[in-house]
Structure 1
């Protein structure tokens, strides 16, 4: 209706995605990421006053982009080998040495253990061919990757080819994928594979060393190192009808187009995240450029829950609270819409929020003591949970503030 607020859904009826909160405010406004297409809709932006929660004096806006590498002839533009033979310069002869085993816990040792379980994925469909990464989830042929890596092949006539570290290539099929979490499970006809262990990502701490492994720009077996530079970073990617909400692990390990779906592993060689997106400075467009030290990975706890659902049922569910959020609101917190949108009420009758006493026009200030200032922040924080979990929302009605307990409901 004219003049109506443009709402986000947080657990509304089936057809519209719910709105969930992001983690702590980011030092840059998250924008929709490009999921392997030549262009993507511009992110929804709105004017906001400076946030008191930021601890820096100035902020550089960044663009969150996906990490899909297109197969373009001559993409590297330079030879990776040099056929030129150098003349003998009279240098001392190399003395052969017995090769030593990598030191336990070293990057070399971890890489040697993990690399055989990491794969390159080539997805072909009507929009072209793209490549990404993935890894072995189960010994009987189940692999985990990003939804945007395989999306192009999820159509009639689409094909998926998986290349293992030893050069073996196998056709694959999509078991299930979810754009909401940007995760997909694919299956190859193989047995006896070596799966990677999904670690407890809730135990990850800022400063922990991590290793990213994948096939950036199609260069399989690439290993980069860094640390966990932040946790609970709210990242949204995609477009208005196909948006992923990620409560991301941030890392400075070099992540580039083609790393999508590859593992981010800890010092034990266990997967703590699935590499999914990178930030780019403004003005660089929506196509992923290269690493600027801000990469984002889907936490392994989320990946474990979602992968299990995809394997068992082919679909994944997500939690909702049953409200619409007003995206035009610029005050403190997040406003529950004052108006219905189409056939979707501002607060779903007998939904989780309604049962907790949340009403149209209320302002949600925090979830589990985590302040929220944007609808996407609330969406991300909610989707980091699972249906049945109880969260505590700080709610303001007029001048009155109170904490309410809300039991999350499965979307549907």
Structure 2
């Protein structure tokens, strides 16, 4: 077939047409970015160890002043500092130092009022919302593979905020997995787009700028594969009764006025009085344990440590007592040094100060009674034999 070179004018026309189409898409993306940006926030939290972490959030309810983010972004924090985009002189400020320098003017102190670790979602209630900020519109239904999506986030490896990232939906499916933040099970939107630490909690929007998912994590095998929480999960959380977020252990103990010391393990030790000049060491776990919507706080006290396994008579006795205890149970654990017998209670992590104090007292008294019972009484004869043996030692 004879190839004919197209006329020069036609070539110029086609090039101009493609340029115009490209410019049209660019303008559309820019307009969508500006629209979504009005709902996005930079979130800073601090845990009980005063370790600071940052992430992203999106305003989902302007009337109730609710900001949505991931539960792993807030962690055990119950307070958060939130920044919305600032445009001094009509130009968007993108550097972090601008917001930190003007924290008194731009920073908003929010309160974490709800967490859903199964879905990895959390809600932050704000005392106010700037006039320039608007709540994002939630999509009516899940997105589909092949859909073009965009993210506005705050990647932690950059000094720049409000970063725009585009991608494509790979799949939508139920995802169940474990992480250091608990067990997760939610409808996931898998995208082909890079999500970095700090982007977590950022809005994933469709071509209409509507929220179709929330950025959650990225694949350890491929940085271009990311996982997001589907909008149906977000709607269900917003429409269902919220679960109160438990306080960090240190904050709870401080608010309850309970004196403690920090054990070398990181757990909190309380020397609880159980009688005249008698105290029993009780420990409260530094971290809250999670299972689904259940948040529990572990409280325990050790009564015996030995290199050999407990005798059968002691084990049977502990089993009988387990059926009679009101809170908690006896347990035996084996570690590198031998065997430990202890009493442990698991308290609802959102329980009141009084409930915490009562549980600590109950654990201390029960463990103290068992410890006294297991300790052999020293007779005069055995004391004399011990003294004689010591005197014979060289």
TM category (shorter chain) comes to 0.3 to 0.5
- Taking structure 2 as the reference length, the TM-score comes to 0.48
Larger relative contact order, structure 1 or 2 (CA cutoff 8 Å, min sep 6): 1
Q: Which protein is richer in helix relative to its size?
A: 2
